[in-house]
Every structure is written in C-alpha cells, then in structure tokens.
Structure 1
C-alpha cells in the first residue's frame, strides 16, 4: 500500500467503478495521481513508491546470493513493486497475486498500464488472480522471496479476513512457501514491535525492520524475516 500526501486542488475524477468479488473498487484521478479506492477506503496512489521499491530491494539484499531467485509479490496495487522487480535482472520468476480483476484490467489495458506495461511484457512475470490469504495455504509453488503488500500493515488490514495472514497460522503458511534461507518481507504503514515478535514465534530468524521516512507522521516500514536453512 502507498499512503498519499497529495495536495492537488479540485475534486478527484472517477475513471472506473466496478463491483468486484470483494465489494466496490474505484480508480480515480486526482491532479497528476491515480488512486485506488476499495469499499470507500483509500488504498494507494501513484504519489511515491519509495517504500514499495525498498520492499523488493531489501528482500533481495537479505538473500544469500543465490542465482535468479523467484519472488512472489502479494498485491499488484498501482504496480510499483512489480515494475521495480522487473527492472532488476537478477530476479528469476516474478509472480504477482492479485484478487481484484478490475485492478488487473487497469494494468493490462487501462490507465495503470503506463506504470506496468514493460513489467507485464517481461517473460519472467506471471499474474495470478487469487485471494492471497487462500493462495498461501493452497499453492504447491515455492519461492525464494515472498513480499506482502496487500494491507496497510499487520495491524491495519484492508479486509477483516486478511488478519489471519499475519497470525501464527498465516505466517506458517508463508514460511511453507519459502525455500530454506528464503526471505519474507512485509510492508507496513508503521513499524510494529508486536509483529516482529510474532515472526520470531512463527520460527523465522534474522527478524528486523527497515523504516522509510515520509513527509508527515510515523515512517513506513518493511519487516524482514528469514526461513531457517
């Protein structure tokens, strides 16, 4: 997710509004920004992307130097994480799980294509239309890195069902997706000491938090943890 600090004048313009499997999803333009709203809740916009890029870079940096690591990105959003991963030749497979068909369409043939068209054309990229919470429990695929960015953090979820992803059970499922020595990276709108403890209790090692200063308020954060080898 991306927190907006836009001060563009005027009212937002609704570009598209759809009823999806999880409720209403809206794409708006406000000044020079594109914004995604779900069930009346602001999710993200195209104002920055620094913390999403750090999410991907920090996860890659925490790996043990393996060749062409595969990454799973949970949440397509406005495409910052995907575009940044695809711009890095060291990644292998880049899978993105997104549950909203509208968001996928806006990237494939809508206004968000300006951010992600090159990444979507990359042969390493695969878009998986699925609920991430269900996907981590059901898939047989494994990855070297799992990046989660579907909420505003473990303590500020977009939908009630997402809370389970950050529990011991959900983190155990994420750990199962990771190959030995693999990295879990979780974006958050604010650091969470409690979540760091939950990661350790779930069996992760080398748990740490990287903070990203923002224009106002508490910093964004990326929580990092490693599955034991």
Structure 2
C-alpha cells in the first residue's frame, strides 16, 4: 500500500437555476462543500485564508478606531463575513446576487459563516452588485469584493465593468473619506493592478499561498 487516500466522489446537495441563467450547484466532498456555477468551480470550504485576509487587511488599513460600515460583495461560503464580525464596531452590508447561496447559509453553510446572517449587525441585500452601487447613496469605510474568480475571470459578463476605469470610479465614489477597497483574485491581474494605481493614491498586493497553483491575491487600494 502506498498510503494514498482514495478520492472522495462529490455528492450533489442542491441544484438551483442561477439568477442570470445556467445552473448553480452545492455539492459535498467529504466534510467540505463546493459551489459550482455552470460547471465552473467557484469556491469551497477547505481553507478560507485569503477570504479572511480580504477583510482583515482592509480593516487594518483604516485610520482611527471609530465605527466601520463595511460592504462585502459576494457572500460565498461566509468566511469573509464571519471574519468581519470578529471586529467590534463593524456593521456589514452583504450584496449577493444568488438567492440559492443565501439560502444555503440557513443550513449547510451556516457553520462556515458562523451563523452571521442572524447577527443584527448584518444586512443581506439580494442584488446585482454594480446595480446596487449605482443605486445606493451610502458610503462605506471598507468595500471588500469577492464576487468573481478575479478581475480577469468574472462569473457574469456584467461584473467585468467593475474592474475597469468606470467601475473603479463607481467603487471609489462609494468609499467614505479614508476608506479602503479590497479585491480578491485567484491569481495575479497585472492590468487590473495598473488601473488601480491610476485611480488610487496607494495600492498594496498581498499574496496568499495555496496548496496547488499560483497564490491567491488580495489587492488593497486607498487614497482617493
């Protein structure tokens, strides 16, 4: 015997029609869950280090110790939201397009979001993020985006505009004075980094090693 663990076959837990068409699947592999959109892997519950860093790094960059209004784009499996609520004084608006994803946090994904959807500091908006940003007058001390596999690998075609100059202007317009924009990516996106540097005074790039492949990346931008 060579000690190799047998591959565990995924078990489909739920199928749902996606908000923009296609199919969204929640499946279990051993003790973990995966979310698949139209056959493309989106996320799983195996680690979450970079999703937590997305929030933690944004909070660390904020000046002062006052109340923080945070916007999280994309509920995912809940790692970012749970991390945000570990900080006192933070209230969170989560914008999630897929009703199925929100529903999964009432059962299968609740341990990973740590029941955060029941926290009175949390508001969940079932909406398309670009449309929400255009329609709200609210400003946030931190905006954390994790709605795609990265600026160059978007889940929906409409999301691509968020990472262009007009989208960065929109995001910048929703930041409060001294606010921070944090963007998650499954890999380096040099063209997006250049656009960030053209729009914001300061940009940081944080790499998070992963077991296989290139590191996850968290982009931080601040200074309007």
TM-score normalized by the length of structure 1: 0.91
Aligned to 2:78: 79
Q: 2-side partners of 1:183 and 1:26: how far apart?
A: 33
Matched, 1:154 2:148: no
Q: 1-side partners of 2:95 and 2:101: how far apart?
A: 11
1:60-116 deviation line (CA, Å, top 9, x unaligned): 01111241211000000000000111122242x1111000000001112x2111222
Residue in structure 2 matching 1:95, options 80, 83, 93: 93
Q: 2-side partners of 1:201 and 1:35: how far apart?
A: 36
Are the structure 2 counterparts of residues 152 and 33 from structure 1 closer, same or farther at C-alpha, using a change threshold of 3 Å?
same
Consecutive aligned runs of 4 or more in structure 1 exceeding 4 Å deviation: none
Question: How much does 1:215 deviate?
Answer: 1.2
Question: How much does 1:185 deviate?
Answer: 0.2
Aligned to 1:4: none
Are the structure 2 counterparts of residues 8 and 171 from structure 1 closer, same or farther at C-alpha, using a change threshold of 3 Å?
farther
Q: 2-side partners of 1:85 and 1:119: how far apart?
A: 10
Matched, 1:163 2:181: no
Are the structure 2 counterparts of residues 194 and 95 from structure 1 closer, same or farther at C-alpha, using a change threshold of 3 Å?
same
Aligned to 1:205: 201
Question: How much does 1:134 deviate?
Answer: 1.4
Residue in structure 2 matching 1:106, options 96, 104, 107: 104
Query: Is the deviation greater in 128-137 or in 145-154?
Result: 128-137
Q: 1-side partners of 2:115 and 2:88: how far apart?
A: 13
**Correspondence list, 1:54-73, <5 A:** 54-73=53-72
TM-score normalized by the length of structure 2: 0.93
Matched, 1:128 2:125: yes
1:175·1:227 contact (CA, 8 Å) conserved in 2? Answer: no
RMSD of the TM alignment (CA)? 1.4
1:16·1:27 contact (CA, 8 Å) conserved in 2? Answer: yes
Secondary structure in 2 matching 1:190? coil
* Structure 1 stretches lacking a partner, 5+ long: 1-6
Q: 1-side partners of 2:151 and 2:180: how far apart?
A: 17
Secondary structure in 1 matching 2:115? helix
Question: How much does 1:123 deviate?
Answer: 1.3
Q: Count residues in correspondence.
A: 219
* Structure 2 stretches lacking a partner, 5+ long: none
Question: How much does 1:8 deviate?
Answer: 6.8
Secondary structure in 2 matching 1:70? strand
Q: 1-side partners of 2:144 and 2:8: how far apart?
A: 35
Question: How much does 1:142 deviate?
Answer: 1.1
